[in-house]
Structure 1
Amino acid sequence: MTQTLADTKQPLLQVKDLKQHFPIKGGVLGRTVNHVKAVDGVSFDIYPGETVSIVGESGCGKSTTGRSILRLDEPTSGDVLFEGKNILNINKQQMKKVRGDLQVIFQDPYASLNPRQTVGQILNESMATLDVVPKKKRPARIVELLRQVGLPSDIVNRYPHEFSGGQRQRIGIARALAVEPKLIICDEAVSALDVSVQAQVLNLLNNLKKEYDLTYLFIAHDLGVVRHFSDRVIVMYLGRIVEIADKKSLFANPQHPYTKALLSAIPVPSRRNKTDRVILKGDVPSPIDPPSGCSFHTRCPIATEACKENIPKFKKVGENHYVACDLV
C-alpha cells in the first residue's frame, strides 16, 4: 500500500512494491540456492519539496532501497515512477537523461570521489557527461558551485586526499548539484562526519534545498539527525516498512513496537525527560530466511500467536500516519 499525503500535488517519486532479492549461489554448478531478501515489497511516495527519511537498524534495507531506486542495483520487481514515468522500464540511454534529475550523495566522501581527478575535473565530468552546461560556461559554474557549498575557488586543482572528510562531502554535494537535480538521495550522507561537521553539512543541505527547490530522500540511522532534518519518516525493519508518518506524529506518538524501541534509544540530555529504554530480545533474523507472518514477531514484546501467521497490512492511525501492526 502506498502512503500519500492529503495534498493536491502529484508525487515526484512513487515506489510501488519494490523488491530486491540477491541470489545466493552454491554447489559445483553455481546454481541459485536461495535469496537475500534485502528489500521485500516497499511502497511510498515523495512529494516535491519534501525531505523524507528512511530509518532502521543496520541491514534493514535502507541503502539498498536507495540504490534500487537509482538502478545502481537492478530491482528484482516492483515499480519506481519518477514524475509519472516508470524508470525501471526504460533503457540505459533514457535512464541517462533521468540521472540528471536523480542524484545521490554517498556515505563515504572519499570512496565516492575519483582520487586521480582534481576537484575541477570531478565537477566538470558531471556536467560534461549529461551536457547540462555549455563547455565555455563550466569553469564559472564550477567556481559558483564551490562557493555555494562553502569552499574556496582556488581548490579546483587539488585532489580529494588533500581535504578533510567534511570538505570532501561538500565536494560530493557540489557534484550532485552540478547537473541541476530535482531529487537527491542522501545515503548516510553525514554519518561518517564529526558531530560539529554534521551540523554544518545538514544546515548546508537545508539552505540548498530552499535555493534550488530540492527534494531529499534522506537515509540515516541517527534519529536525532532525522528529527532535525525531516518532514516525514519511514521506519524499516528487515526489508519492509513498518511505520510511516510525519515527523511530529512519529516522535510524539510512535505506534509500532519497533519504532518505540528505536525512539527509546535516543540519548536524552536531561534525566527529567528520560524515558524507559525498550530492550529488544534476540538478534535480527537473517534476510535469507525471514520469519513468517510479521517479520518483527520474534523480537516483539507484545507479539501473539497470530503474529506468526499473518503479514500485517497498513492501517491509518492518524493524519498521514500509517502502521503495519495488527495489534495497534
Structure 2
Amino acid sequence: MYFHNEKGYSTLIEMYGIRSIIAFVALIFNLSIVYVTLIKKSLHSFCQLLIALESFFGIFLNLNYFVSFVLSLIGQPFIKFVPCFWIQILSIITGNNAQMTMVLIGFDRLFAVKLPIWYKNRNTKFYTLLVVAILIFYAGYQLFLYLNVLADTDGEILVTCSSYDISRGSWSVIMYFNGITLSSTLMITYILIWILVFLRKNLGGNTVSTSNRRIIKSLLIIIILNMIGVFINNILKQFYNFVAVDVVTKNFITFINSHLSIVAYSSNAPVLYFVSEKYRAAFNDCFPLLAYLNGSSSHSNRVGATTTTPAIAVNPHLPKNVNNRPLTVINS
C-alpha cells in the first residue's frame, strides 16, 4: 500500500496536519461560544444555552481530528480497530448529540415563532427535562449501535483512527440513516421558520424589516452549511454501503468531506457574530481584540449597557413577540 512507506507517512502527516489546523480554528470557535454564554447573563435564554451546548458537544468532535495527525507524527498512522474504537467513541457520541441538539434548537425556535403564547407560558422545568432526556436517550442509542459494530468487527483490522473508521458494517446503514433523518428534519424545520417569518401577513406592508432580514439570512446560512457539511456527507457514506467504490477514492472523498463537517459543526461563532448584534456585543466585550479589529470600542458595546433607540420606536410596524419586543435573530 502506498501509505505504508516513508513517503506515504509524510503525505499523511501533511493531510492530517492541514485538517488539524482547521479543526483547531473550529475548536476555538466552539470554545468561544461556550465561554461567552457562560460569562454573559444576557445570553442565558433556553435557546442560547442550547446553542452553547451544541458547541460544547462540537468541542469533542473537533478534538478527534487530532488523533490521526498525532499517530502519523509518531510513525504509527495505522492502529488496530479496538483501541481506535475506545479513543473515538466519546467524541463520536457527543458529535452525534451535537446534531441532535441542532434539531432541538430548530424545534425550540419553531415553537417560539409559531406558538409564542404557549412558549412563554410553558413549564420550563418539564421542557428542560424533556430535552435532557432526549439527549441522554439518543446518546445511549448511539452507544448501543457502536457497541454492536465493535462486536461484529475484526479487532485486528488496521485503521487510520479517524471518526469515520469506526462506522462500518451493516450497523453503519442505520447510523447514516439516522444522520440523514436528523439533517433533513433540521433543514425542514428551518425552512418552516423561514416561511413563517418571511410570509407573515402582519409585518406591515410588503417590506421585510432589518431584524427579519437577519433572521432569514442566518437561517439560509444554517441550511446551506448543514446541507453541504452534514447531509451530503451522510448521503455519500450511505451510498458507499450499497455501491462498490474503490477504497482509495472512497477514503479520499470521505477525508475531503470531513473538512466540511468541521465547518458545519463550528459555524455558530462566526454566524452569530456577524448576524446577531447581541452576540457581537458580547464577543466584543469578552474579547476586546475583536472590537479593536472591527474599529469599535468594547466599552460602547457592553451587553446591557447600550443606549440605542429601540427598533420598535423607529418602526412601529415591526412585528412583536409575546414580550412586546421586536423579533430577534434565530440561529443554531
TM-score (normalised: structure 1): 0.26
Higher strand share: 1
Structure of greater Rg: 2
Higher helix share: 2
